[in-house]
Each structure stands twice: as structure tokens, then as C-alpha cells.
């Protein structure tokens, strides 16, 4: 699992920073999280291939999180996309997208499946590679975060143990899935005799625009990495509260209590030119806090 930052600023582009967008790569799949203005330009710049995007998540309907989406959807159509695309977003976005296509007399070359976000934590998608789960946060309008899990391939095979019991590699997949081996004759070979625990699934939590709250802490607990908005420095804590945003210190407190390993800081107010103070304030609470830098890819 890898996270590429396509935009790390809040409402306005400023100081070379752009509105929010991220691309999370899981195997050969890319999940696009939010799509601020100009996202497709930065996708081109940073090598994010639209053909690998089959899932797009929009956290809420403030423009800095979705104004780039109509252009991206249209561009993929102009480039001849045929693979379906799944869009998970607040219910009202479906009418907005349909209205834009209607007034432009445009029909997409591919099927766009729209999934309205529910008001409670919900698994949006799951297959053999990944799980996408949304959860509500607390912003000025309805807003959601996203938990992404990259599944592992199950338990590890111990080849020498399998050889002792005469188990053919033809049975390795079922053993990885946790099944016991049942020979044609003889006793059942317990799975734990010939396998070892596999690696833990990787989890990444995207905590979109939100006031400081622990309401979603249980959902993101134990995530390997957490992205958390921190629009303001601590001196502007009251302004953050009034505008339903967080400070760097508050984001760090969430990361600490979530027992994560890495905190990515983003969604910076355009009033700040320098970002080092965000990292410094957060690191005083949670040492492994870093600025989510546009164009950087972070291994989870």
C-alpha cells in the first residue's frame, strides 16, 4: 500500500500547494480520495494512471474536495475509458454530476456507478485485495473519512513442514486460507502444523475535514498510518473550532490515541506560507508526524 499526495492545502491554492486529493495504490489498483481543483493535472505530473482508478471517494461537498471531479470524469471519457468506475460520495453529488453532463449534452463512454455515503460506518467495497470502509466525521456539513485495508494472502507456508507430511504444493492455496489438510488416507494435518501466521493487513485511515472529536477513534484504532487534517496551528485553536477544523496538536492527539505508526498532516490553511511549525507542534505530542508533501509517495 502506497499513498501519493496530489493536494495538501485547504480551500484555496496557495504557495505552490493545491486543494485536497490523494491516490492510494493497493497492488495494481488505485483508489482516488477527494478530487480538488486541478487533480488530473497533478495526476499527470506525478504518474498516477487513470486506467488504474476504479474507485473514487469524495468526503464531502465543499468545493476544494470535489471541483476537480467533473473534469476528471469527462477526460477519462474523452480518452476512451470503457471500464466501469465506482463513485462513493454524499448523495447530492449524483444530481450535480448528472446536471453537468446533461447541460453539456455529454454521455460518458463508461458506466459510472454512484454509491451514496450512509450516516454510519459502512463497508463500501470488499474483494480479495482490499476493503474500503467509510465513517462519519464532524464538519460544518456532512462529511466522511475512509479506512482502507490492503488484505494479505493469508498464512505463510512452511515448505519443510509440508514436505514432512507429504503435502503437495497443489494444496498451498487452501493452507494459506487457513484450511487443514485432509489426506486420502491417514490423519488430518492441522493447519498450524505446516503454516505460520501471515503478515497483518495494512490499514490507512483518511480523516477528512473535522472538528476535534474522538467519535471515530474506534474505527481507525490500530491503523498503520493516519492522514488527519490540521488546518490551523494551535494559536488559532478557537478559529479551528468555530470552522469545524483541527489544529496540528489535535491531529497528533488523535494519532497518539489511535495507536498508529505514522501521522500525515494536511489540509493547511492558505494563511500559512511555512509548514514546518505544523510538524513541530504535532511532533511534540506524536513524534512520527510528517507533512503530507505534494508529489511524495508514502509507503504504508
DSSP H helix total and E strand total for the chain: 10, 16
Q: Give dist(CA 270, CA 18) in Å, integer.
A: 10
* Of 34, 64, 209, 224, catalytic: 64
With the C-alpha atoms ordered 21, 246, 221, 265, is the resulting torsion angle positive or negative? Answer: positive
- Cell numbers representing residue 215 in the block: 467519535
Whether residue 180 lies in the annotated active site: no
Which bin fits 186, alpha (ψ -120 to 50), beta or left (φ > 0)? left
Is residue 86 within 8 A of residue 55, CB to CB? The reply is yes
Cα torsion through 278, 280, 286, 290, rounded to 10:
60
DSSP strands (E only) in the chain? 2-7, 21-26, 29-35, 53-57, 85-89, 112-116, 122-126, 130-136, 144-150, 156-157, 195-196, 202-207, 225-229, 262-266, 289-291, 297-299
Q: Which of 39, 42, 36 shows the shortest CA–CA distance to 12?
A: 36
Helix (H) or strand (E) holding 250: helix 248-258
- Asked if 195 and 158 touch (Cβ cutoff 8 Å), the reply is yes
The residues annotated with a catalytic role in the active site are 64
Amino acid at each position: 500500500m502506497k499513498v501519493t499526495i496530489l493536494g495538501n492545502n485547504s480551500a484555496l491554492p496557495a504557495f505552490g500547494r493545491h486543494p485536497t486529493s490523494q491516490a492510494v495504490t493497493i497492488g495494481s489498483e488505485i483508489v482516488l480520495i477527494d478530487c480538488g481543483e486541478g487533480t488530473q493535472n497533478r495526476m499527470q505530473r506525478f504518474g498516477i494512471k487513470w486506467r488504474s482508478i476504479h474507485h473514487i471517494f469524495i468526503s464531502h461537498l465543499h468545493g476544494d474536495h470535489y471541483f476537480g471531479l467533473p473534469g476528471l470524469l469527462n477526460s477519462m471519457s474523452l480518452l476512451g475509458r470503457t471500464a466501469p468506475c465506482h463513485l462513493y460520495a454524499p448523495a447530492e453529488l449524483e444530481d450535480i454530476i448528472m446536471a453537468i453532463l446533461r447541460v453539456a449534452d455529454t454521455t460518458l463512454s463508461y458506466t459510472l456507478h454512484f454509491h451514496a455515503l450512509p450516516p454510519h460506518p459502512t463497508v463500501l467495497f470488499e474483494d480479495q485485495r482490499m476493503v474500503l470502509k467509510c465513517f462519519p466525521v464532524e464538519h460544518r456539513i456532512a462529511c466522511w473519512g475512509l479506512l482502507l485495508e490492503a488484505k494479505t494472502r493469508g498464512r505463510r507456508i512452511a515448505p519443510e513442514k509440508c514436505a514432512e507430511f507429504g503435502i503437495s504444493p497443489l494444496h498451498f492455496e487452501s493452507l494459506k486460507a487457513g484450511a487443514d489438510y485432509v489426506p486420502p488416507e491417514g490423519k488430518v494435518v492441522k493447519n498450524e502444523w505446516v503454516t505460520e501466521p501471515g503478515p497483518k493487513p495494512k490499514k490507512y485511515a483518511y480523516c477528512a475535514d473535522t472538528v476535534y472529536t474522538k467519535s471515530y477513534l474506534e474505527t481507525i484504532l490500530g491503523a498503520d498510518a493516519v492522514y488527519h487534517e490540521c488546518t490551523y496551528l494551535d494559536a488559532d485553536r478557537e478559529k479551528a473550532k468555530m470552522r469545524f477544523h483541527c489544529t496540528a496538536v489535535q491531529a497528533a492527539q488523535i494519532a497518539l490515541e489511535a495507536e498508529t505508526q505514522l501521522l500525515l498532516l494536511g489540509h493547511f490553511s492558505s494563511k500559512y506560507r511555512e509548514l514546518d511549525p505544523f510538524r513541530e507542534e504535532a511532533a511534540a505530542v506524536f513524534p512520527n508526524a510528517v507533512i503530507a508533501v505534494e508529489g511524495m509517495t508514502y509507503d504504508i
